[in-house]
Amino acid sequence: MALLLSESDVRSLLTMPVALDAVEKSFLRLDDGTAILQPRQRLHPPDGAYLHYMAAADSVSGYMGMKLYTSSRGGLRFVVPLFRTSTGELVALVEADFLGQMRTGAASGIATKHMARADARTAGIVGTGLQARTQLEAVTAVCSLERVRAFGRNPERRTQFCWDMSQKLGLPVEPAPSAEEAVCGSDIVIAATNASSPVVLGKWLTPGVHINAIGANFPQKRELDDEAVTRPDIIAVDSVEQSRQEAGDLIQAFAGDEKRWSAVHELAGIVAGRISGRSSRDQITLFKSNGIAIWDVAVAARVFELARERQLGTRIPLWEHCG
Mapping DSSP onto H, E and C, the string for the chain reads CEEEECHHHHHHHCCHHHHHHHHHHHHHHHHHCCEEEEEEEEECCCCCCEEEEEEEEECCCCEEEEEEEEEECCEEEEEEEEEECCCCCEEEEEECHHHHHHHHHHHHHHHHHHHCCCCCCEEEEECCCHHHHHHHHHHHHHCCCCEEEEECCCHHHHHHHHHHHHHHHCCCEEECCCHHHHHCCCCEEEECCCCCCCCECHHHCCCCCEEEECCCCCCCCCCECHHHHHCCCEEEECCHHHHHHHCHHHHHHHCCCHHHHHHEEEHHHHHCCCCCCCCCCCCCEEEECCCCHHHHHHHHHHHHHHHHHHCCCEEECCCCCCC
The number of domains in the chain is 2
Amino acid at residue number 226: D
Q: Are residues 191 and 260 in the same domain?
A: yes
**Residue 323 banded pLDDT, cuts 50, 70, 90:** low
Q: Are residues 148 and 246 in the same domain?
A: yes
Q: Are residues 252 and 263 in the same domain?
A: yes
| pLDDT tens column, 173-210 | 999 999 999 999 999 999 999 899 999 999 999 999 99
Looking at residue 74, what is its pLDDT? 86
Asked if residue 109 is part of any domain, the answer here is no
In the predicted structure, residue 262 carries a pLDDT above the cut 80: yes
Distances (CA, A) of 169 to 45, 132, 134: 42, 13, 11
Catalytic residue flag (residue 67): yes
Q: 112, 137 in Cβ contact below 8 A?
A: no
Q: Are residues 120 and 233 in the same domain?
A: yes
| pLDDT tens column, 216-243 | 788 999 999 999 999 999 999 999 999 9
How many angstroms separate the CA atoms of 217 and 41, rounded?
12
Give percent above pLDDT 70 in the chain: 99
How many angstroms separate the CA atoms of 218 and 212, rounded?
17
Residues contacting 302, CB < 8 A, separation 6+: 14, 18, 19, 21, 22
In CATH, what number is assigned to the domain containing residue 175? 3.40.50.720
Q: Which domain covers residue 77, as residue numbers?
A: 2-100+294-316
Asked if residue 249 is part of any domain, the answer here is yes
Q: 138, 125 in Cβ contact below 8 A?
A: no
Q: Cβ of 85: how many Cβ atoms within 10 Å?
A: 15
Asked if residue 322 is part of any domain, the answer here is no
How many angstroms separate the CA atoms of 138 and 36, rounded?
25
In the predicted structure, residue 320 carries a pLDDT above the cut 80: no
Output the average pLDDT for the chain: 96
Q: What is the dihedral of CA 111, 287, 189, 281, to 10 degrees?
A: 70
Say which of 67, 113, 221, 288 is annotated catalytic: 67
Distances (CA, A) of 318 to 1, 93, 127, 133, 174: 6, 11, 41, 36, 50
In CATH, what number is assigned to the domain containing residue 20? 3.30.1780.10
| pLDDT tens column, 68-118 | 999 998 899 999 999 999 999 999 999 999 999 999 999 999 999 999 999
Q: Are residues 90 and 238 in the same domain?
A: no
Q: Are residues 40 and 63 in the same domain?
A: yes
Q: What is the dihedral of CA 182, 279, 236, 127, to 10 degrees?
A: -10
Q: Are residues 178 and 159 in the same domain?
A: yes
Asked if residue 321 is part of any domain, the answer here is no
Asked if residue 45 is part of any domain, the answer here is yes
| pLDDT tens column, 135-179 | 999 999 999 999 999 999 999 999 999 999 999 999 999 999 999
